[in-house]
Chains A and B, each alone.
Chain A
Amino acid sequence: MEQLSNSLARTPLNSVVVKRRSKTKSFRQSYRSCLGLTPALTARRLSKSRKAPKSHYITEKVNPEHLALLLKSEWKLSYVTPLYQFRHTQLKSYSRQLSAFIAAEKQQGFAVEVDGSQSNFRVSFSVVQGMTETEDDAETVLIQIHSKPLFAKQSEAQRSVWSGWLTCVNGNSDYLCSLPKDFICLPLFGSSGSEVLTTLVQSWFQKMFDCCFGPLEMNNTCLQWLAALWTNCHPESSIQHLKMIWTLPVVPPLQITYTVNPKDAWKLWSSVRKDPCEENKEEEGVSIDIEDVMRFMQGLKSHFYRHFRLDLSAGCLKQVSTALGSATFSGRVKISNSQYILSTLTLLTECALFKMPV
């Protein structure tokens, strides 16, 4: 992966606005090359530097109910290729169709009327307003599935059994603009609930919008970024601890849990920052470079080495958690603090866009 991103980073393509075919219909697309079609080869790499998370007053922008839902659970992440002919205006009909689809899949061989109300599953699609950061971002979509337990009493209300969302925060605008207008790009998909339902929802989306879902793992770089971004927030809201889990490729495999006192972490972080915000302070955003992050991690690693004679660089970072959130290598993320949700999602959107095939 690392090697790949390097090779891509070298690509000297300019992501100018794509010139699309205009003249006749008679010629074939032979000469069309991926080099011109989308700025895909260059646009999708992780930023080398990003703004430090500001404590957004997101509670003012976003429906608190939705926000509470986003913060409540741990999400399993996937990337999604752009949705073909997805419309935010059709959510009602999507709700009906998805619930019919789930009902049909649950009772194999039993046909289900799409407009019927008999379904055991009630699906609701809704827009989460206020999550977008730029004009090109599509509005976030929230999906909830309610159902009654199998042996429930008549009076018992339906419970939420599954929820998921599709989002795009601060997506690369070159990439987003290069897509034809009947595609909506919501590259990041989070789900929480039974695997079976996740698979069903995904396969419905695939059939409906001709898109593909793939698991989104969080590589080392991404987890290190998160560790740094969260630590950077410490003065404003305490991170309480910085916990990292590493695995080392030895026999038997060794797992190391490395917990750092928040004050120490902050001290280390402020010491590795290039110019401690002197000149940038007046400006709106403080930017963090990948070099800062690498120095921070190096500091943590060498501290560990001094004590245990174990070089963590040989291992693999599997999990990072603080009071603000946690993330694992396998792509499970929990965001506990609403203030930093957008900067976290920006990073995750980047990771998801990085996986786009075209």
Chain B
Amino acid sequence: MAAKLNVSESSESDSPNLSNLSACSRTGSRSLRVAEKERRKNGAEEPFVLALKYFSNVEAGTPVIGNDEFERNMVLVEQVAYFKGLSPEAISVMLEFAMSSRMGTNPCVRVLKCLIPTTMVPQEAVVRGVAWLGVGKIPISSQVLFIKWVLTIFDMIDAKDQLRAIYGFIFSFVTEESLCPFICHLLYLLTRKESVRVFRVRKLLDLQSKLGRQPFLSHLLSLYKVLCPELVTLSIPSRMRSGFRNHNSPWKSALIAVQKSNGSQTDSSTSLPLTIKEKTSLRKRKHKHLELPVLSSQVNKQPQTEPFTSRKVVPLAQLHSLSQLLENMHCIELPAQMGSLLGSSLALQYLDCVQDESALLRLNFWLGYALNEEFFFCGDGGGSQTSEEALQFLDKLLSSQQFLQEGFSSTEAFLYKFLSVWDGSLFRPQILSLLSNIPVVPNSQIGQLLFEPLMQLFFTSSLFFRCGLMECLNNMLLKWLTWHSVYALEDDLDISLNSHTSINMTLSGFKDSVMELIHFAGRLGSVGLQLEGCHSLLLSFILDFYETVCDTFLKYGLPLVVMPPPGVFYPALFAPDPVSVDRLVNIMYRYKVNLTSAKSKEKVTEQAFHISRQTFREFNHYIVVMVNCLWNSKMFQPDMGIQLGEELLLKSNIPEYWASFDLVHHPAFLSYAVDFHQRCWPGKKVLDLNSIKHSKPWTWYLEFLNSQGYDGLKQVVPAP
């Protein structure tokens, strides 16, 4: 189709705008000849080209009635239009023909109805069409049809800058009563902040007082309010919130058909992102503090920002995609109510990169207010009926915090207060997740703010709370360690955290807090395991925690190694499930790797940290116990941690008690040993597990265990 560009050649003389489109035809007669040849080649399309030529050249005043030539060409164009749509050039020609009323006003409607674009519509054609409106030859009904057509194909117009440039001209048509609704819609689509002026506001208000409360006026005005709240104010009732009506009925089916046959997916439905609050399905509440404010632009401008001198700003409410956000990054205006940011991920993206203290404080005031009102002050609200909303609110808060990867300070303040009155079950998952987001608490306050209330809750709550709390502490530790590693990197290994904290925290202060947290979890873990009879679920959460702890040095660069307390180590070592034992062995292996690398680093750098002897001693002790117990069958040796009286052990009547926790007899691995025994000696009737301990079967047995997925065991004592 591109070859037919030259048809607009003829209209070039009177329409310089259009000629831009057909730039290639400007090269004169030579290209014309080439095009002529081309045209001959695909003769099938020639009649259509001729038809277009007819419409672009037809003289003013040619009669329509009884004009067979017109009829023939018109039918041809219609056929092409409905079959595969019109090219941009064809649209230009036909629109120009229709709007100029060269053959009277009759064909206008017919032409407009068949203006189905294939791909896009040249802006210039639309601008010229609008310009013809001013001439006043066209009947109102056709004018309306034209604007409706523009609205329908609005998204297919290739650019909008020139249309915006004639905003004032388009605006002048609002006084035309029957055009007004459609003009308002078009203006709505074109309005920019700079197009909102006092005189336009006055004109619209004037119309409003004449026509009454019309949705189209209200919607345009509400956009004006979003852009310039200092000029106009308006509140839209809920029943009027439907937006503009679609006017695409004359073209809809044809457009869809053409797009289908072309396989293009241009979405021409002009959906309007009205900045109006969504109607909540929830019933009206007495207290509205959990409602997110609407994202709206700021009314209260700085006094110095005069409309003419100020730099251009874009309200956040006007942005709908990340690319828009990035384009306008330098000139974004924060919304009137910072609480509204919580509802939009786009806004959160922005909040993440602005470091505006006041903005954050505003957000925190609102958030803290909402949380306080909901959980402390609203005693009369009746918890059950509001819990659904509170749940949604907390979930939203959580997802925002997870998005930002940090907690808000008002959430933190709220949690410290809330922990002392919490029953441990109200919104447990949410509260614990929020808790795991809190920043590092200074050593001096951590006990009173966190540990005391949590300890009370831990001892008085169910197993599930205990597991949840261990998970929460693990996540908290992970966050703290991650922050540490990020900052240590950012500051070029200047490990003093002084500069970025509002609380005065040094590396040693940070280490103290982390150590307190680990010890606290260790205490809870030990006592919890006792209370729950070494419940394997709880044990699993505790081991999760120590999987984080054992790698603090290598993974997070924190020079700190804290061993688990005996209350955690032994229950895990003697656990009846092989997974726990294997995980413990793996944890001990990671401790070993961390400690050796710390030691070697200590030697190299000298000035580096110092890990206390006590830690090494504890580690060595645990390793000895573990290896003696699992591999060497030497339980209850006098120098081991666990000592029992000789007589007592004899009294128990357990034969070879020293071997009862080796890898063969350990309750966790017994079934594997039996299984192995059967595979190894299928004929044997008598089960003799001790035979596994001979050197050859022992190697096979260890390999067998490895093949079952217990890699931890392999790492401590590699198979010989």
The residues of A with any CB-CB pair to B shorter than 8 Å are 1, 3-4, 7-8, 10-13, 18-37, 40-41, 81-82, 84-85, 87, 89-90, 97, 100-101, 104-105, 108-116, 179-180, 182-183, 206-212, 214-215, 217, 355-358
Contacts and interface: CB of A to CB of B under 8 A. Distances in A.
Contacts of A212: 289, 365-366, 369-370
Contacts of A355: 372, 377
A182 B503 CA distance: 22
B234 A214 contact: no
A30 B225 contact: no
A31 B235 contact: no
Contact of A8 (B221, B222, B417): B417
A111 B205 contact: yes
A33 B234 contact: no
A240 to B, nearest CB: 33
B338 interface: yes
A346 B413 CA distance: 25
A206 B233 contact: no
Chain A, interface SS category: loop
Interface string B255-294: 0000000000000000000000000000000000100010
Nearest to A82: B365
B365 A36 contact: no
A105 B303 contact: no
Contact of B500 (A7, A31, A85, A179): A31
Interface of B: 198, 201-202, 204-205, 208, 213, 217-218, 221-222, 224-225, 230-237, 240, 289, 293, 296, 299-300, 302-303, 336-339, 352, 355, 357-358, 360-362, 364-373, 376-377, 405-406, 409-410, 412-414, 416-417, 420-421, 438-442, 444-445, 448-449, 483, 486-487, 490, 497, 499-505
B233 A97 contact: yes
Contacts of B300: 84-85, 208-209
Contacts of B417: 4, 7-8
B233 A84 contact: no
Contact of B234 (A28, A90, A111): A111
Contacts of B413: 34, 40-41, 357-358
A21 B500 contact: yes
Nearest to A179: B361
Q: Is the interface of B mostly helix, strand, loop or mixed?
A: helix
Q: Which of B224, B497, B500 has the most CB of A within 10 A?
A: B500
A36 B364 contact: no
A31 B497 contact: yes
Nearest to A105: B235
A7 B224 CA distance: 50
List of 7 A-B pairs having minimum Cβ-Cβ separation, nearest first: A357-B368, A36-B502, A36-B503, A108-B237, A34-B409, A111-B221, A212-B369
B302 A85 contact: yes
A31 B483 contact: yes
Contacts of A8: 417
Contacts of A26: 490
A25 B201 contact: no
Given A180-B361, A207-B296, A21 B502 contact: yes
Contact of B237 (A12, A35, A109, A207): A109
B336 A210 contact: yes
Contact of B208 (A7, A20, A84, A110): A110
A119 B429 CA distance: 51
Contacts of B289: 212, 214
Nearest to B503: A36
Contacts of B372: 214, 355, 357
Contacts of A29: 355, 360, 406
B409 A207 contact: no
B233 A101 contact: yes
B500 A27 contact: yes
Contact of B502 (A12, A32, A85, A116): A32
Nearest to A27: B500
Contacts of A32: 409, 439, 501-502
Given A109-B235, A112-B232, A210-B338, A35 B358 contact: no
A84 B439 contact: no
Contacts of A183: 358, 361
A36 B502 CA distance: 5
14 contacts: A4-B420, A25-B355, A29-B406, A30-B405, A33-B440, A33-B441, A34-B416, A36-B502, A109-B236, A111-B205, A179-B361, A211-B365, A357-B414, A358-B409
Residue among A25, A33, A183 with most chain B CB within 10 A: A33
Given A4-B421, A206-B293, A357-B414, A109 B439 contact: no
Contacts of A97: 230, 233, 299
A201 B115 CA distance: 52
Contacts of A211: 365
B608 to A, nearest CB: 24
A109 B238 CA distance: 9
A42 to B, nearest CB: 11
A34 B360 CA distance: 12
